Amino acid sequence: MLSVIERLRIGLIGAGQNMCQKHIPGFQAISGVELAAVCNRHPESTAQVAQKYGIPQTFNSWEELVASDSVDAIVIGTWPNLHCEITCAALAAGKHVLTEARMAASLAEAQQMLEASRKASHLTTMVVPSPFGLQYGPYLDEMVSCRFLGDLREMVVIGANEAFWDYTQPMHPRQDRRLSGINVLSLGILHETACRYAPATTKVFAQSKIFEPKRPIINSVEWDQVTVPDSLQVVSQLEGGGRGLYHISSIALFGPGHHVHLYGSEGTIKMSFEPGPPYQETVWMGRIGGEEITKLELAPEKLGQWNVEQEFVGAIQGQNEVKLNSFETALEGIRFTAAVDKSAELGQTVELSSL
């Protein structure tokens, strides 16, 4: 375990958009942290990131970076298909691990990652949390714990937009099961957000559809097969008897966007998230006896914020525990996604406890 004054050397694997916009500036703002190495899929991209952000070492393969003695911790920004392999290799090499969401491409891989982390319990492991709900999260945590909602009766989760409505646009990695695994669009990230305030899901029934089965391959005249649904509906049951309803779509022209609604026996909380830029988060709250639902307004000092890099470094240094997200918490999210995937395939209800 490192003390707060020692240097922490971080290696980046897969420095894409989120890594460059969020993680790199986040780590650079922390005293005693050095971005020591980077490896992207292509050498040209690796060199560009290294030059732009002043990263001294580059590697031609993630295996070489993981094995390097010049790195103490690994941040994984690849698509989910590589999360398990890199994580297990990094832990075996004695490196702390922060992996981008979603945790893994399958439940089996997530379970393998958790087992590897338990065998290396002296190392910190963390999954990047959903960015939705971080601003008002601390306040809502308090309100829900004080039973503002009463007993949760219904949970509505909506992630419906036109992101992939135009089938003439090149195929995106989120539409390729080989890269994204069982993860479907914004299902996991919105489910994670909702679960911060709702009881655990016990069973699901799902249906899905690929309306546009082929997409052009980028920089090619060839077309490829879409293997991730662009439309998904889920009905769920929660501990305590509450019900959930999900509408996830990337082909909803003029769709409603991203929302989580919580309807309880005594109150209602409605959350709206617009990824941006600029990112916008809005919350409405209403309780029995009130005349109408009202928009929540908090002073800036009471708002939460993106704190992923600080939480990861603080956990390594022994200053705090991992709150959002531990491997244990993230695995339960993948279990939900796996249940949805199986239910849609079989056309029948699936209990999460059976997986």
pLDDT at residue 115, as a whole number = 98
- For the chain, which ranges sit under pLDDT 50? 1-5
pLDDT at residue 276, as a whole number = 74
pLDDT at residue 4, as a whole number = 46
pLDDT at residue 3, as a whole number = 42
Q: Please indicate, yes or no, whether the overall pTM of this predicted structure exceeds 0.85.
A: yes
Give the C-alpha separation, 235 to 243, whole Å.
7
pLDDT at residue 5, as a whole number = 44
C-beta of residue 130 within 8 angstroms of C-beta of residue 190: yes
Spell out the residues 6+ positions from residue 234 whose beta carbon is closer than 8 angstroms to its own. 187, 204, 205, 206, 244, 245, 246, 248, 340, 343
**Domain locations along the chain:** 8-129+307-323, 137-305
Q: Select from 3.40.640.10, 3.40.50.300, 3.90.1150.10, 3.40.50.720 the CATH code of 8-129+307-323.
A: 3.40.50.720
| Farthest-apart Cα atoms in the chain, separation | 63
pLDDT at residue 275, as a whole number = 79
pLDDT at residue 278, as a whole number = 73
Give the C-alpha separation, 40 to 56, whole Å.
14
Domains 8-129+307-323 and 137-305 fall in the same CATH topology: no
Q: Which two tokens stand for residue 320?
A: 């705090």
Name the architecture of domain 137-305.
Answer: 2-Layer Sandwich (3.30)
pLDDT at residue 120, as a whole number = 98
